[in-house]
């Protein structure tokens, strides 16, 4: 029997179609072959991108020239514009505002042939530091309410350039999905005086059924009601509402993140994937109800009419099975 499962946080229902139980090999994922051609993110081509906002490079090495190990610059084709005011207006019953925001790109490595899964551990840590610094900086802009860090890897996941990179978008609003999680977390906290994410983590660590991996500071789980096969969440084990909390160390987070990505690569043949960092909005600050985390989804199934029309996902792989495949992946 297929099973209807409700996500305990936002209350989103999904369909786990158990009897179709797909194994990793059943997903034909177009392998990410590097196609070559001109790459604006490769060293030597710095002049083709907007000037860098920050970079990790040896002391004395001039900006916008080779020698960097990581580079952050504005997106050449931004989804939102950085200059101007919000211009909130009404038009009859409708509300609107200008498309103000920041859209930045983190080039994770100068090496065109590596990925976030295969760059050295120190480089993966640096990517997280770059996210941290940029989020902290963008927070100072009072027009912004939220900063979303996300990654599209592979064409099917929305990447237009194959050189590995992560994106950052600062928004004048809180995105709907984050708002849903936040409101639900607040309700749970009011009712139980506990963080719902902490409750989920405790239960998953205890049962081990959907546990993929843990290190000292973090845990990776297949959520109880995943929208897609191999959906994976990484959460700090100790309650922490903001990704940008002070006294941060990123070595353990980099380790678990790279491990999950290598497990994807191993069992799903280097699939296209997306990830997002969900953190407490600026306005909520440090709090007891929200728990920041990373959500990762390999792009194995297509969003079709039913999902689009209902917000209701059909998932052919139960999370207990995907967690088992991930645990057993030899990396």
Positions touching Zn ion (CB under 5 A) are: 39, 41-42, 112, 163, 195, 197-198, 239, 291
Task: Rounding to the nearest 10 degrees, give the CA dihedral for residues 151, 154, 155, 159.
Answer: 30
Q: How far is the CB of 105 from Zn ion (least distance, A)?
A: 12
Closer CB to Zn ion, residue 194 or residue 266? 194
Beta carbons within 8 Å of 80's beta carbon, 6+ residues apart: 99, 100, 101, 102, 103, 169, 171
Kindly state the smallest distance separating residue 100's Cβ from Zn ion, in Å. Answer: 30
- Nearer Cβ to Zn ion (195/222): 195
172 Cβ contact partners less than 8 Å away, ≥ 6 residues apart = 86, 97, 100, 101, 143, 144, 145
- Based on CB atoms, which residue is closest to Zn ion, 35 or 140? 35
Cβ 323 to Zn ion, closest distance in Å? 21
Judged by CB, which is closer to Zn ion: 117, or 228? Answer: 117
Q: How far is the CB of 225 from Zn ion (least distance, A)?
A: 19
CB of 112 or CB of 179, closer to Zn ion: 112
Largest CA distance in the chain: 64
The single residue listed with the structure tokens 């990776």 is: 220
CB of 196 to Zn ion, least distance (A): 8
Alpha carbon distance 154, 79 (integer Å): 19
Q: Could you tell me if residue 81 is left (phi over 0), alpha (psi between -120 and 50 degrees) or otherwise beta?
A: beta
d(CA 184, CA 190): 10
CB 167 within 8 A of CB 131: no
What residues are labeled active site?
A: 165
Task: Give the sign of the dihedral formed by CA 67, CA 70, CA 76, CA 81.
Answer: negative
Min dist. Cβ of residue 245 to Zn ion (A) = 12
Q: How far apart are CA 243 and CA 85, in angstroms?
A: 27
Nearer to Zn ion, 16 or 72 (CB): 72
Token pair in block for residue 181: 């999680």
Residues 129, 250: Cα–Cα separation, whole Å: 7
CA 269 vs CA 133, 254, 263, 320: distances in Å: 33, 21, 9, 20
Pair 148, 172: CB distance under 8 Å: no
């Amino acid at each position: 029997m297929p099973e209807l499962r409700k996500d305990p946080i936002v209350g989103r229902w999904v369909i786990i179609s158990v009897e179709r139980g797909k194994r990793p090999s059943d997903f034909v994922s177009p392998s990410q072959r590097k196609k070559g051609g001109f790459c604006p993110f490769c060293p030597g081509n710095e002049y083709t991108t907007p000037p860098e906002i920050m970079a990790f490079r040896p002391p004395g090495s001039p900006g916008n020239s080779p020698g960097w190990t990581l580079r952050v610059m504005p997106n050449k084709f931004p989804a939102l514009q950085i200059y101007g005011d919000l211009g909130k207006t009404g038009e009859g019953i409708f509300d609107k505002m200008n498309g103000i925001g920041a859209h930045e790109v983190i080039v994770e490595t100068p090496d065109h042939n590596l990925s976030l899964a295969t760059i050295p551990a120190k480089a993966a840590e640096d990517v997280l530091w770059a996210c941290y610094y940029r989020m902290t900086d963008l927070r100072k802009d009072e027009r912004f309410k939220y900063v979303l860090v996300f990654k599209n890897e592979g064409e099917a996941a929305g990447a237009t350039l194959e050189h590995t990179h992560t994106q950052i978008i600062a928004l004048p609003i809180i995105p709907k999905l984050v708002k849903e999680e936040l409101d639900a977390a607040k309700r749970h906290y009011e009712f139980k005086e506990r963080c719902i994410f902490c409750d989920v983590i405790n239960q998953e660590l205890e049962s081990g059924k959907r546990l993929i991996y843990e290190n000292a500071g973090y845990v990776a789980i297949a959520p109880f009601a995943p929208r897609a096969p191999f959906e994976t969440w990484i959460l700090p084990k100790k309650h922490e509402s903001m990704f940008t909390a002070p006294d941060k160390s990123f070595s353990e987070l980099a380790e678990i993140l790279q491990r999950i990505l290598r497990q994807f690569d191993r069992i799903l043949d280097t699939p296209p994937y997306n990830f997002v960092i969900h953190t407490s909005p600026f306005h909520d600050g440090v709090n007891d109800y929200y728990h920041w985390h990373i959500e990762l989804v390999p792009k194995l199934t297509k969003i079709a009419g039913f999902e689009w029309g209902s917000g209701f996902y059909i998932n052919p792989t139960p999370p207990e099975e995907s967690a088992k495949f991930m645990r057993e992946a030899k990396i």
